Structure 1
Amino acid sequence: MPSWVIVGAARGIGFEFVNQLSANSNNQVVAIIRNQSTASVLNALAEQRPNIHVLETDIFSPDSLREAVAKVEKVTKGALDVLIHNAYSAGTEAMFWTPSQFTGKETELHLELTETIKANVIGPILTINALLPLIHNGNEKKLIYITSGAGDVDMTRKSRLAGQIGYSASKAGGNVVMAKYAGELADEGIKTISISPGWVETPATEGLTANPAVLEYLLSAFKRLDPDVAGMIKVEESVKAQLEVIARLDAESSGAFVSHHGDKKWVD
């Protein structure tokens, strides 16, 4: 029975992973969330599908993480096939400031970088390390990091996206970390990949793009990459494509950084 852990599963992309994976009753799906207050839809789905197991966990607390791993171990009988780390931070209120706009704003710069690096680099390392003994016992042995095309230097250069310093830098850092794990764990049959989900319509992105200026800023930038881009894609489409990329992950592609298409096409 394939086993999956989705970290950051309460809403959006993480929830859709749980939804699509749990539709197959052969899958055991553990949904790790930060707070039950945002998980009403997830809990409602779990009531309908007994193969969903919801765990409230603070991944930055060693005690909380150990408790979660113990519960996962019981659900999955000591083995884990696939870990998908989707939890992240988009940044602070200064997320769209350009580098020079932080001049004289050292406190804001520090907060922007520490917030995103903690969530997007340190968090995945803590989670992977905690669950790695179970991955060793799994059949698939796959570690998945949900990243962003914003972490790609060429994408940033061509789109001229000058803001989102913390988000972009931390996602790039996370991609490097996953490549490091790929190198370290290759001889043990463990494979990793960083997948950008595309420009996806989720509660988080809808909140940002509700501001017309932000929407125009992003759309203009993405049109420099693909003139045919009209807007965001549906979360169902993104997750379905990502699962196909995960299914194809093998030793040769381990450590790669790709889009939901399995290539470097970051937006549709």
Structure 2
Amino acid sequence: MNILITGANRGLGRNLVEKALINNHKVYAGVRKINDVASELKDLKDRYEKKMNLIELDVSDEESIKRAAIQVSKEEDSLDVIVNNAGILKGRGKEIEDLDYTDLEDTLKINLMGPMMVVKYFLPLLKNGREKVVINISSEAGSFANAYGGDYPYAVSKAALNFFTAQLKDAMKDYKGRVYAVHPGWMKTDMGGTSAPLSPEISAEGIMKIIEGDIKVDDNQFFIDFTGQSMKL
């Protein structure tokens, strides 16, 4: 399969890239700045040169997304999978009275508008693909049923991303696409911190099983965790 992964430089993104390459897929790894690639991602490029392409794709910049789509379309007629992984967490621990407008604006731009624009520009390639899978990396923080007072920008952005995922699932039904918002678990990453119980390698492995169809998901579900289990909206 041809797979696009945003936010590929580190954490879950880099692990998804590695797992996809190990499983013999072709990967377009999106990074914010092509001249600022983490050493571990460079190592993967060296090891899987023919299967991995690094592309500059800043999800906060529509023109960057558009250029990336043009670049990929010059090399491929189709994509099978889009993984919207890039995201940020700002304003952690702030009470609503201390909420910073810029934190909210930046978070919505990257966590919501970014995935929407990635789908906008890469959808023509995806519609030509065999599998037609969209994975939006979400969070249990975006669940209405589990709402808590905190992490306001992040939680609101993920709740909105879940709604967009539901819309996209409906829009893709005539193409027999599979569209999911995936809670990857609390992971040991820059965002999750060292206290997290889960490694990004384990989460990436589960997400790849969902992509490849080894984990079957009920057709009526779209908000799931990395094991394919339904999440409460």
| Fold match by TM threshold 0.5 | yes
Cα-to-partner distance string for 1:75-117 (whole Å, 9 max, x where unaligned): 3x210000000001111xx321233xx1xx4xx4322321211
For 2:30, which of 32, 35, 48 is the aligned residue? 32
Separation in 1, partners of 2:62, 2:109: 15
* Correspondence 1:242 to 2:207: yes
SS at match of 2:145: helix
Aligned to 1:194: 181
Unpaired runs of 5+ residues, structure 2, are: none
2:190 to 172, 197, 203: 203
In structure 2, how many angstroms separate the alpha carbons of the residues matched to 1:47 and 1:241? 25
Deviation at residue 176 of structure 1 after TM alignment = 0.3
> 2:229 matched to which residue of 1?
263
Choose from 94, 97, 109 the match for 2:94: 97
Normalising to structure 1: TM-score of the pair? Answer: 0.78
Name the counterpart of 2:102: 111
The corresponding residue for 1:3 is 2
Contact residue 29 and residue 55 of structure 2 kept, 8 A: yes
Structure 1, unpaired ranges of 5+: 210-214, 216-230
> 1:69 Cα deviation (Å)?
1.2
- Secondary structure, counterpart of 1:193 in structure 2: strand
* Matched residue type, 1:232: P
SS at match of 1:5: strand
Runs of 4+ residues deviating >6 angstroms = none
> Relative to structure 1, is the Cα distance of residues 74 and 201 closer, same or farther in structure 2, using a 3 angstrom cutoff?
same
Q: Does 1:178 align with 2:161?
A: no
Shift of 1:259: 1.0
Rounded to whole Å, the distance in 1 between the matches of 2:231 and 2:162 is 16
**Most deviating of 193-202 and 248-257:** 248-257
Spell out, residue by residue over 1:201-228, the C-alpha distance to the aligned partner (whole angstroms, 9 max, x if none).
Answer: 113322xx5xxxxx6xxxxxxxxxxxxx
TM-score by length of 2: 0.89
Paired letter, 1:72: V
What SS does the aligned partner of 1:87 have? coil
Q: Distance in 2 between matches of 1:264 and 1:24?
A: 25
What secondary structure is seen at the aligned counterpart in 2 of 1:204? coil
* Residue deviations 1:125-172 (CA, integer Å, cap 9, x gap): 00111000000100000111001111112223xxxx421011011101
Q: Distance in 1 between matches of 2:209 and 2:84?
A: 17
1:20 Cα deviation from its structure 2 partner:
0.7
**Which residue of structure 2 aligns with residue 226 of structure 1?**
none
Equivalent-residue separation in structure 2 for 1:60 and 1:37 (angstroms): 16
Evaluate the alpha carbon distance shift between residue 123 and residue 45 of structure 1 in structure 2; reply closer, same or farther with a 3 A threshold: same
Q: Give how far 1:252 is off.
A: 5.5
2:53 alignment partner, SS class: strand
State how 1:1-268 maps to structure 2 within 5 Å.
Answer: 2-25=1-24, 27-35=25-33, 36-50=35-49, 51-75=51-75, 77-91=76-90, 94-99=91-96, 102=97, 105=98, 108-156=99-147, 161-206=148-193, 231-248=196-213, 253=219, 256-264=222-230
Displacement of 1:262 after TM fit? 1.6
- Tell me which amino acid in the other structure corresponds to 1:244: K
Say which structure is richer in helix.
1
Q: 1: CA distance between counterparts of 2:216 and 2:202?
A: 23
Question: Deviations 1:51-87 (Å, cap 9, x if unpaired)?
Answer: 1101122334343223211221233x21000000000
Give the counterpart letter for 1:179 in structure 2. A
* Whole-angstrom CA distance in 2 between matches of 1:205 and 1:111: 22
CA distance in 2, matches of 1:240, 1:251: 16
Q: Secondary structure at the residue paired with 2:54?
A: strand
Q: Cα RMSD (Å) of the superposition?
A: 2.2
CA contact (8 A) 1:13 1:235 kept: yes
